[in-house]
Amino acid sequence: MAHESDARQAVPNAPGMRTDRGGGGTRRRPLRERHVEETVEVAVPVRTAYNQWTQFKTFPRFSTVVRRVEQIRPTVTAWTIGYGPLRRRFAVEILEQDPDAYLAWRGLEQNPSHQGEVEFRPVESGGTAITVRMLLEPQGAARILTRSSGAARLTARLVRGELVNFRQFIEGLGQEGGAWRGTIRNGRVQHDHPEPPRSRVAQWPVG
């Protein structure tokens, strides 16, 4: 999905960071504490699965709960979810993104809030193992409900159902319908070639 400008908000309470040996800067560690972890294998290569996953606006085409996804900033999207007439809209910020490997996000709403990540790994069959992990962080009385095993099981069942729906969707397509191949670190899009400083002298348009 196209991203339009850099997010400016710092990331509080993020999991620990590590330095990539390949020179890519810092990268989040996987969630050490989680309420949900679900994995499915899809019969398409990692690149295809990852590319389609980045097309967030297509999620309503296969999801049973996602009704609409809007791009707010390059790293921030607004999701509308619900069943029947019930709707809820909330913003999500992408914190880290590595093409063909990893994507981490956090909810920006106050109550409840959550963190999540999705990993893409090749398997021997030539397909892809997709793992989603989520940590729910509600405030106030909702915290007690979230910590119950029933709430965790319900969330896990929902996440697994959405992963199965995604598998059927991408395997039915056979190829991705688009891609966003950028890298994000700590909520900021990383540019391969830094923009040169802008001159204070007015310039005539060219081209």
- DSSP assignment of 89-148 equals EEEEEEEEEETTTEEEEEE--SSS-EEEEEEEEE-TTS-EEEEEEEEE---TTHHHHHHS
Question: How many other CB atoms are there within 10 angstroms of residue 178's CB atom?
Answer: 12
Residue predicted with more confidence, 137 or 72: 72
112-165 pLDDT tens trace: 678 899 999 999 999 999 999 998 775 554 454 445 556 678 888 999 999 999
Judge whether residue 1 has pLDDT over 90: no
Judge whether residue 207 has pLDDT over 80: no
Give the pLDDT band of residue 2 (cuts 50, 70, 90).
very low
Judge whether residue 106 has pLDDT over 70: yes
CA dihedral sign, ordered 122, 125, 130, 131: negative
- Lowest average pLDDT, out of 39-48, 67-76, 115-124, 194-203, goes to 194-203
* Distance (Å, whole) CA 89 – CA 73: 16
For the residues 83-111, what does the mean pLDDT come to?
A: 90
Residue predicted with more confidence, 92 or 26: 92
Judge whether residue 21 has pLDDT over 70: no
Report phi then psi at 163, rounded to 5: -65, -40
Give the pLDDT band of residue 35 (cuts 50, 70, 90).
confident
The answer, as to whether pTM is greater than 0.85, is no
76 vs 24, 39, 171, 172, 185, CA distance in Å? 22, 25, 28, 28, 13
Question: How many other CB atoms are there within 10 angstroms of residue 65's CB atom?
Answer: 16
Question: How many other CB atoms are there within 10 angstroms of residue 150's CB atom?
Answer: 8
Evaluate whether 94 touches 103 at the Cβ level (below 8 Å). Answer: yes
The reported pLDDT for the residue numbered 136 is: 79
The H helix count followed by the E strand count for the chain is 3, 11
